[in-house]
């Protein structure tokens, strides 16, 4: 168990006397505490760690067998399980979806999964060619893992879209979501991709019916406009109803599925097949890095260890992820799901309640916008919020203007670096209202430019950071029992709405409020 690992006691002792960053942060430290891989630099001089703490964190990684567990995951061992109890009991092979570029996995389950993904990719390439010129707009209908990752990527990569191609998303069962997207679209030139691994998600099936009906009313044959992405043999696996059907499998979790066909159809439509493959290539390079790089140079492992230091030893309950990049507008929302659904767990892989904190609360917004909103609390509030900044040296469009000696991109980066230093070092003053205590841990992940390739790498960096943390805590990062109870009760509630008999007095009393309004 995590708390019994030998390095934990050492780290606890060190955490009792944390560094004072006002005295610690130097130009040399910023230079030294940096690691580079797959086009990204991780700058962590502003985290509250020194060489001896880092050394103990690397011991922790060794004791928790982080690298062995990453190898087990990527080779397809059954790691999604709770020993001795009914559980999903499967491999975790989202990495196989992008294992198409050399240095392949040699273990049989991983090879087989990569071959299955390869076949779907070939199908996608053919499909995109066959539909060339027919559609200007694509709507993706899906929710949770079948929405957040693909949507975050699609928003981030708009400058790379093929001319005349637009992508839209419908996820919420709120009819206003579908209506807002549908208004203004020429349905004759619209292709709809319905994405549901289970093929049985209420919101998605409802929205599919909603849009199908709209098409039928407009005299359009949905069969020529609807594409399915689903699990084999799911209720949606019915190629008769669709223009094309693509598959995903049990061994790809919803929140890890953006690089499967779950993201493939819409991103391939928008960017072209080669553009989607660039995302996969970037992700694959980060997979290989996570698997093979020494812990001291391994970006996702370093990020995971620094996160564990902040969470379990300095005891901070939340993490803000702040991209200084408008492209990454919805990336924090994807990471919220990725991290909190994976590591928001209270039992270990043997089914015992854990006596320590696991996944933190993840939230975030792009900078500089956040600076004009919640940064007050981050600088001077009573709770310390560690921050993960993401930035890119170059803008995507490259059109920029020099105003008063600096470009907009330079203004963006100035703010990023200034915040990192201000949060770390703080400010003294005779006026208590102008005191900044500093010691707010933060780090910067700096890339060159947000492109399909770098975004694929960034996506995988976070997937592996989350996985490494789960390995350290000994929890199962790949199931999501926590969302089941609400779904079950919502079904009971729906029965009440439909006037059916249902033994659910608590729900009945809520319903009572509606009729009285
Ligand atoms: C992700 C979760 C969850 C899931 C949605 C949609 O890891 O399992 O967010 O993706 O509930 O599920 P379907 O794809 O089955 O519709």
Report how far residue 322's alpha carbon sits from residue 325's, in angstroms, rounded to the nearest whole number.
9
Residue 102, pLDDT score: 86
With a 6 Å cutoff on the Cβ, whether 254 touches ligand 1 is yes
pLDDT digits (tens, 9 = 90+) for 164-184: 999 999 999 999 999 999 998
As annotated, the active-site residues are 341, 372, 487
Q: Which residues make beta-bridge pairs with 231?
A: 248
C-alpha of residue 28 to centroid of ligand 1, in Å: 46
**Percentages (nearest 5) of helix, strand, coil residues in the chain:** 50, 15, 35
Neighbours of 508 (CB within 10 A): 13
Nearest CA to ligand 1 atom 14: 196
The three-state secondary structure class of 132 is coil
Residue (of 280, 257, 120) closest to 198 by Cα position: 257
Residue 516, pLDDT score: 64
pLDDT digits (tens, 9 = 90+) for 329-363: 999 999 999 999 999 999 999 999 999 999 999 99
Whether the pLDDT of residue 70 is over 80: the answer is yes
- Do residues 444 and 420 touch, judged by C-beta distance below 8 A? yes
Whether the pLDDT of residue 258 is over 70: the answer is yes
With a 6 Å cutoff on the Cβ, whether 94 touches ligand 1 is no
- Do residues 214 and 182 touch, judged by C-beta distance below 8 A? yes
C-alpha of residue 487 to centroid of ligand 1, in Å: 12
Residue 254, pLDDT score: 97
The three-state secondary structure class of 48 is coil
Report how far residue 444's alpha carbon sits from residue 324's, in angstroms, rounded to the nearest whole number.
10
Nearest CA to ligand 1 atom 5: 144
With a 6 Å cutoff on the Cβ, whether 479 touches ligand 1 is no
Q: Phi-psi category of 89—alpha, beta or left, where left has phi over 0 and alpha has psi -120 to 50?
A: left
% of the chain surpassing 90 pLDDT: 97
Span 73-100, mean pLDDT? 97
With a 6 Å cutoff on the Cβ, whether 150 touches ligand 1 is no
pLDDT digits (tens, 9 = 90+) for 279-296: 999 999 999 999 999 999
Alpha helices in 293-407 (DSSP H): 299-308, 331-343, 375-380
Whether the pLDDT of residue 456 is over 70: the answer is yes
Whether the pLDDT of residue 76 is over 80: the answer is yes
pLDDT digits (tens, 9 = 90+) for 179-238: 999 998 999 999 999 999 999 999 999 999 999 999 999 999 999 999 999 999 999 999
Q: How confident is the model at residue 462 (pLDDT cuts 50, 70, 90)?
A: very high
Nearest CA to ligand 1 atom 9: 144
With a 6 Å cutoff on the Cβ, whether 143 touches ligand 1 is yes
pLDDT digits (tens, 9 = 90+) for 294-332: 999 999 999 999 999 999 999 999 999 999 999 999 999
pTM: 0.97
Q: Which two tokens stand for residue 481?
A: 């029992």
Residue 517, pLDDT score: 61
% of the chain surpassing 70 pLDDT: 99
Whether the pLDDT of residue 515 is over 90: the answer is no
Q: Which two tokens stand for residue 254?
A: 């919803």
Q: How confident is the model at residue 425 (pLDDT cuts 50, 70, 90)?
A: very high
91-105, 237-251, 378-392, 503-517, range with the lowest pLDDT: 503-517
Sign of CA dihedral 337, 153, 298, 321: negative
Q: Which DSSP symbol is given to 145?
A: G
Q: What is the DSSP string of 436-462?
A: B-----EEEEEES---HHHHHHHHHHH
C-alpha of residue 342 to centroid of ligand 1, in Å: 12
Neighbours of 218 (CB within 10 A): 10
Residue 363, pLDDT score: 98
Q: Which DSSP symbol is given to 25?
A: -
Q: How confident is the model at residue 103 (pLDDT cuts 50, 70, 90)?
A: confident
């Amino acid at each position: 168990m995590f708390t019994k690992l030998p390095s934990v006691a050492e780290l606890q002792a060190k955490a009792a006397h944390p560094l004072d960053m006002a005295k610690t942060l130097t130009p040399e430290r910023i230079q030294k505490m940096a690691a580079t891989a797959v086009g990204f630099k991780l700058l962590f001089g502003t985290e509250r760690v020194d060489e001896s703490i880092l050394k103990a964190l690397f011991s922790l990684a060794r004791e928790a067998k982080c690298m062995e567990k990453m190898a087990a995951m990527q080779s397809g061992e059954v790691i999604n399980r709770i020993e001795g109890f009914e559980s999903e009991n499967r491999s975790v092979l989202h990495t196989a979806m992008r294992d198409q570029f050399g240095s392949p996995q040699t273990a049989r389950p991983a090879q087989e999964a990569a071959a299955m993904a390869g076949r779907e990719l070939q199908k996608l390439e053919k499909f995109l060619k066959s539909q060339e010129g027919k559609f200007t707009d694509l709507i993706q209908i899906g929710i949770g893992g079948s929405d957040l990752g693909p949507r975050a990527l699609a928003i981030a990569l708009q400058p790379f879209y093929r001319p005349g191609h637009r992508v839209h998303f419908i996820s919420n069962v709120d009819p206003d979501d579908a209506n807002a997207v549908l208004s203004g679209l020429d349905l004759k030139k619209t292709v709809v991709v319905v994405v549901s691994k289970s093929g049985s998600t209420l919101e998605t099936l409802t929205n599919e019916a909603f849009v199908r009906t709209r098409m039928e009313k407009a005299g359009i044959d949905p069969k020529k406009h609807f594409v399915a992405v689903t699990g084999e043999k799911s209720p949606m696996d019915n190629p008769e109803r669709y223009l094309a059907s693509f598959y995903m499998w049990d061994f790809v979790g919803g929140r890890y599925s953006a690089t499967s066909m779950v993201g493939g159809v819409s991103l391939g439509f928008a960017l072209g097949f080669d553009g989607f493959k660039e995302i996969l290539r970037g992700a694959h390079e980060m997979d290989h890095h996570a698997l093979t790089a020494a812990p001291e140079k391994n970006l996702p492992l370093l990020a995971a260890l620094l996160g564990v230091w902040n969470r379990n030893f300095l005891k901070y309950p939340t993490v803000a992820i702040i991209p200084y990049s408008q492209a990454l507008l919805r990336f924090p929302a994807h990471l919220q799901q990725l991290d909190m659904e994976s590591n928001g767990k209270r039992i270990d892989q043997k089914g015992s309640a854990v006596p320590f904190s696991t996944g933190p609360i993840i939230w975030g917004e792009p900078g500089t916008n956040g600076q004009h909103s919640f940064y007050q609390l981050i600088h001077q509030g009573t709770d310390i919020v560690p921050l993960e900044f993401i930035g890119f040296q170059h803008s995507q469009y490259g059109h920029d203007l020099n105003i008063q000696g600096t470009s907009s991109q330079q203004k963006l980066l100035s703010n990023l670096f200034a915040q990192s230093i201000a949060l770390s070092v703080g400010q003294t003053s005779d006026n208590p209202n102008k005191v900044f205590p500093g010691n707010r841990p933060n780090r910067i992940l700096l890339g060159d430019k947000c492109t399909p390739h770098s975004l694929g790498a960034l996506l995988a960096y976070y997937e592996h950071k989350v996985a490494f943390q789960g390995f350290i805590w000994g929890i199962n990062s790949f199931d999501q029992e926590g969302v089941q109870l609400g779904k079950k009760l919502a079904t009971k509630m729906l029965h009440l709405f439909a006037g059916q008999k249902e033994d659910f007095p608590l729900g009945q009393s809520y319903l009572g409020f509606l009729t009285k309004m």
